A and B are shown apart, each in its own frame.
Chain A
Amino acid sequence: MSRHDTALYRKELYTPFNLVAGIILIIGCVITVLRFTKGLGTVTHLDDNYPWGIWIGFDLLAGVALAAGGYVTSSAVYIFGMKRYHSAVRPAILTGFLGYALVVFALNYDVGRPWRLPYPFIMQQGTTSLLFEVAACVALYLTVLFIEFTPAALEWLGLRRARNIVTKLTMLLTIFGVVLSTLHQSSLGALFLLAPSKLHPLWYSGYLPVFFFVSSIIAGLSMVIFESTLSHHYFADKMDKTHLEEKEGVALGFAKAASLVLAGYFAIKLIGIAVDNNWHWLATGYGLWFLAELLGFVALPSLLYAVGVREKNLTLIKWTSGMTVFGIILNRLNICLIAFNWHLPYAEKYFPHWMEIGISVFILTIGVLVFRFIVTRMPVLYEHPDYKDTHH
């Protein structure tokens, strides 16, 4: 590289985005050191009543739901044969893989002794725990997503034979991915089945596992639209003709599906209230908050998606996808934190320490940076010219 090139490269590196990201990374590293030398007490507001904070509520529960795009898209294309969404598969798998990798990364901050994370598998298997199921499925699914993503990396590296072997596994991996996702997405909700006395009756339901699974489909569909919008904004030059041509169809198709699943989700949430006869709770303060979530972030986006599809209004669809993603995050925070310990007086409730938020932002930033590193190098938003029409 000549001196001139280096100077140019340097200049390109100092963008406002990179500067902000750099500052976040530095702060994140400082908090990381504090966390692992001084303990959880120094950097979090966790206490004995609130053993789980935003690292579980946001990073784990919401993170896993939002990473559902991988199994949703790959099953739509490979199992249901919707080939016209093929260009959405790789970005969705990548988002899913990074999502899960970061969930596991975040867990290392949250658990007291992260170096023991393999203990449930190698020491004693606590198979009566839903957390064991979650741990096993997340570990396996992270592996599945990794393998599903490797073709892009192998094409980039030019390893044709290895790449062809992996693509032969596509069907098997997709089905395995759906099984694992069904299990752990629902189990994350089922974790709270054990705490009927702590979670507000409007959110507590025997259907929690079903609610979590169905809403993960919504989150997956919406994240594909949301991510595609952002990618198109920042990486349009990386997209090939097929990707650009299919993009609109993906947004319309996924929005239509999301609208329908949201409507179904709304219906089963109502059934949940009816089954436990919880109607009278709706007239309380928590009831209003519950209605805000259910009407504002389930019913409304379902309607907006439907309107967006009918009028082919892509801008509306984009905004609705953001709104839906926010709604899913809100739901997970409600269950894990806000409606949790609802008996406790306000003064004893949990609010995150700024350093907890700092770590969550830090991890999110790492995700965005790795995503950018990969899509600017590997064939994710475009098909590798050597493998055109092989469709994997």
Chain B
Amino acid sequence: MSISRRKFLGWIGAAGMGTALGTSAKAASNKAFTGYPDSMGVLHDTVLCVGCRTCEAACSKVNELPPPEKPFTDLSVLDTKRRTAVEAYTVVNKYEHAGKQGKPVFVKKQCNHCLEPACASACFVKAFAKSKEGAVTYDPSVCVGCRYCMVACPFNIPSYEYDSAFSPRVVKCTMCHPRILEGKVPGCVEACPKEALTFGKREDLLKIARERIQKYPDRYADHIYGEHEMGGTSWLYLSGTAFGNIGMREDLGVKPAPELTAGALGAVPIVVGLWPVLLTGIYAMSRRKEKIAAEEKEQAVAAAVAEIEAKADKKLADVRAKAEKDLAKAEKDKEAAVKREVQKALGEAAAKHEEKAKTETEEES
């Protein structure tokens, strides 16, 4: 099969247009995504939380996790700081003296279900998705296990089944997505005896949170954690103290994760488009330089050869002229010699004749 240049360029163009039209780079546009409308979330009011770990027990039960070493009723577990793990999708941590009058504060930790999740942005096989109900879901059937999602998560939530050789998964809170689809509330929210957890539409939860702050300004810090952090999360938090005091980072910024890499991803088509042009240009220039150098060399060689040839010709001509001159001279000499010899011979002959005549005269007399 032969491919004409025109055909080839046509294909390349079509491929380029296909790439350009196929997807829209939301992160690079000026539209902000503020979450799916009517998506659900949970408000965690840490002021109301008493650290009973009932939510942990409920989570374990709903997700059929292995029972922990110490029972959920053992509150001494709270004395060490914990993070989410393979066997615990949610943990409650205690922060001594962080509350009013030096009381401890309890904070429940689980996946915050970002509006624009870092894990989903990081996954190269789209195993994570933000559902319209609000949960960030994970599909273990495609997961390769690169764990970039864990590197990406600003809240240090996903955990990995390192001890599984054949089917390790990333695990994290699912916001009980299957239960939400059934019309139920998440296990932890249902179990909470103190209403420290409220399940509802994220928009409504924000209103509730604002109301509480307004109503009890001395009880709450004027900050709803998760409203804007990392572009916003479906889990929202209220606190009586600065969130930095209860183990929640306040330096995450309000930029959603995909924006952090949008610039680098945007550079890809430019590199693909520009590099070949520049490099071919440089190649053409170096080829041209080589060609000119070769031509100049050729010219110089030709000039040198011509010069040498001219010199040689002149020399040859000189030699020839000289030779001719010599030859002429030699011929002249030869002629002269012959002449001389002839004259000599003639002279001798004349002398002889004279002598002979003389003798004859003497004899006659």
Q: Which residues of A contact B (CB under 8 A)?
A: 36-42, 44, 46-49, 51-52, 75, 78-81, 110-114, 116-117, 119-120, 123-133, 135, 171, 174-175, 178-179, 182-183, 186-187, 190-198, 206, 209
CB atoms of B126 and A198 under 8 A apart? no
Task: Give the chain A neighbours of B268 by CB distance below 8 A.
Answer: 133, 183
CB atoms of B271 and A126 under 8 A apart? no
CB atoms of A179 and B271 under 8 A apart? yes
Seed contacts A111-B145, A111-B146, A193-B264; 12 additional CB < 8 Å A-B pairs: A36-B165, A49-B83, A112-B160, A124-B125, A124-B126, A135-B124, A182-B271, A193-B260, A194-B118, A194-B122, A194-B260, A195-B152
CB atoms of B144 and A111 under 8 A apart? yes
Q: Which of B111-170 contact A (CB under 8 A)?
A: 118, 120-127, 142-148, 150-152, 154, 156, 158-169
Docked pose: A182 CA to B151 CA in angstroms: 23
Nearest A residue to B153 via CB reads A195
- Which listed segment binds A: B100-108, B208-216, B284-292? B284-292
Write 29 A-B pairs (CB below 8 A) sorted by A numbering: A38-B163, A39-B161, A39-B162, A39-B164, A40-B163, A41-B163, A44-B162, A46-B162, A48-B85, A48-B159, A75-B279, A79-B279, A80-B282, A81-B283, A111-B147, A112-B144, A120-B125, A128-B27, A128-B258, A129-B121, A131-B122, A131-B146, A131-B148, A133-B265, A135-B124, A174-B279, A183-B272, A190-B264, A193-B260
**Smallest Cβ distance from A124 to chain B, in angstroms?**
4
CB atoms of B151 and A52 under 8 A apart? yes
B182 located at the interface, meaning its Cβ lies under 8 Å from any Cβ of chain A in the complex: no
B76 located at the interface, meaning its Cβ lies under 8 Å from any Cβ of chain A in the complex: no
**Smallest Cβ distance from A286 to chain B, in angstroms?**
16
Nearest B residue to A135 via CB reads B124
Contact with A along B239-262 (1 / 0, CB 8 A): 000000000010111000110110
**Smallest Cβ distance from A158 to chain B, in angstroms?**
29
Task: Give the chain B neighbours of A42 by CB distance below 8 A.
Answer: 163
CB atoms of A124 and B162 under 8 A apart? no
Task: Give the chain A neighbours of B161 by CB distance below 8 A.
Answer: 39, 112
Docked pose: A156 CA to B3 CA in angstroms: 32
Known contacts A48-B150, A191-B148; is-contact A132 B264 (Cβ 8 Å)? no
CB atoms of B251 and A117 under 8 A apart? no
Task: Give the chain A neighbours of B287 by CB distance below 8 A.
Answer: 81
User: Which of A38, A171, A206 is B165 in contact with, Cβ under 8 Å?
Assistant: A38
B263 located at the interface, meaning its Cβ lies under 8 Å from any Cβ of chain A in the complex: yes
Q: Which residues of B contact A (CB under 8 A)?
A: 23, 27, 83-85, 118, 120-127, 142-148, 150-152, 154, 156, 158-169, 249, 251-253, 257-258, 260-261, 263-265, 267-268, 271-272, 275-276, 279-280, 282-283, 286-287, 289-290
Nearest A residue to B261 via CB reads A193
CB atoms of B85 and A130 under 8 A apart? no
Task: Give the chain A neighbours of B253 by CB distance below 8 A.
Answer: 196
Task: Give the chain B neighbours of A132 by CB distance below 8 A.
Answer: 124
Nearest A residue to B255 via CB reads A196
CB atoms of B260 and A196 under 8 A apart? yes
Task: Give the chain B neighbours of A81 by CB distance below 8 A.
Answer: 283, 286-287, 289-290
CB atoms of A126 and B125 under 8 A apart? yes
Task: Give the chain B neighbours of A110 by CB distance below 8 A.
Answer: 146
CB atoms of B142 and A119 under 8 A apart? yes
Known contacts A126-B125, A126-B126, A178-B275; is-contact A194 B261 (Cβ 8 Å)? yes
CB atoms of B160 and A120 under 8 A apart? no
CB atoms of B276 and A179 under 8 A apart? yes
CB atoms of B264 and A131 under 8 A apart? no
Nearest B residue to A40 via CB reads B162
Docked pose: A348 CA to B83 CA in angstroms: 12
Known contacts A39-B168, A48-B85, A195-B151; is-contact A123 B279 (Cβ 8 Å)? no
Task: Give the chain A neighbours of B164 by CB distance below 8 A.
Answer: 39, 112
User: Which of A51, A192, A196, A197 is B150 in contact with, Cβ under 8 Å?
Assistant: A51
Known contacts A81-B287, A133-B268; is-contact A112 B124 (Cβ 8 Å)? no
Docked pose: A116 CA to B125 CA in angstroms: 10
Task: Give the chain B neighbours of A51 by CB distance below 8 A.
Answer: 147-148, 150-151, 160
Docked pose: A197 CA to B154 CA in angstroms: 6
Among all A-B residue pairs, the 8 with the closest Cβ atoms = A112-B145, A81-B286, A51-B147, A41-B162, A190-B264, A132-B124, A51-B150, A39-B165
CB atoms of B168 and A116 under 8 A apart? no
Task: Give the chain B neighbours of A193 by CB distance below 8 A.
Answer: 260-261, 264
Task: Give the chain A neighbours of B258 by CB distance below 8 A.
Answer: 128
Task: Give the chain B neighbours of A41 by CB distance below 8 A.
Answer: 162-163
CB atoms of A190 and B261 under 8 A apart? yes
User: Which of B144, B159, B283 is A78 in contact with, Cβ under 8 Å?
Assistant: B283
Docked pose: A209 CA to B260 CA in angstroms: 12
